[in-house]
Amino acid sequence: MKAPAYIGVGSNIGDRSDWIKRARDRIVLSRGVRFLRAASIYETEPVGVPSQGKYLNTVWEIETEFAPHELLTVLQKIEIDLGRQEKGMNAARTIDLDILLMGNRIVREPDIVIPHPRFHERWFVLKPLSELCPDMIHPVLKKNVRDLLAEVEK
């Protein structure tokens, strides 16, 4: 069964729009993944590291038959192919692709957590996500995306 998944996308190095376009092109061409739609792109300040450049952020809706680890592998390969280098959490990056949600799945493992553990705290994720699925219920918090966004905007 194919499960809808929502991917958080961010870039804050170089031609940010081009990195996002290139990552999207790669998702579209990925076997086992069907790109459905993208939210608007928002320019946002970096979180926790003010000396970095601003991010461009969006969310993509995809459909996949992949298990969470398989999808993570696809996304990590795209990140590496587009020049991402691991320099720690919140480091500047050409492209960042995070699995936010995979239907109502809950995964808690050392290398993958779904839903993404902090997306409910981040305007730059909730705002574009609310364009795509405002009524989607966070499987752990049991609140919809619209209400989570309202809590962050307060």
What tens digit of pLDDT does each residue of 98-151 get? 999 999 999 999 999 999 999 999 999 999 999 999 999 999 999 999 999 999
Bigger pLDDT: 48 or 83?
83
Q: Taking CA 105 as the corner, what is the angle to CA 143 and CA 94, rounded to the nearest 5 degrees? A: 90
Where would I find the beta strands (DSSP E) of 23-142?
A: 33-38, 42-44, 55-64, 96-102, 107-109, 112-114
**Residues 126 and 120 sit within 8 Å (Cβ to Cβ):** yes
Distance of alpha carbon 72 from alpha carbon 112, whole angstroms? 8
pLDDT in tens, 34-61: 999 999 999 998 877 667 889 999 999 9
User: What pLDDT score was predicted for residue 112?
Assistant: 96
Q: Does domain 3-153 match CATH 3.30.70.560?
A: yes
* Single-letter code of the amino acid located at 22: R
In the chain, domain spans? 3-153
Q: How confident is the model at residue 93 (pLDDT cuts 50, 70, 90)?
A: confident
Q: Please, how many CA atoms are within 13 Å of residue 98, restricted to the half-sphere of its CB?
A: 23
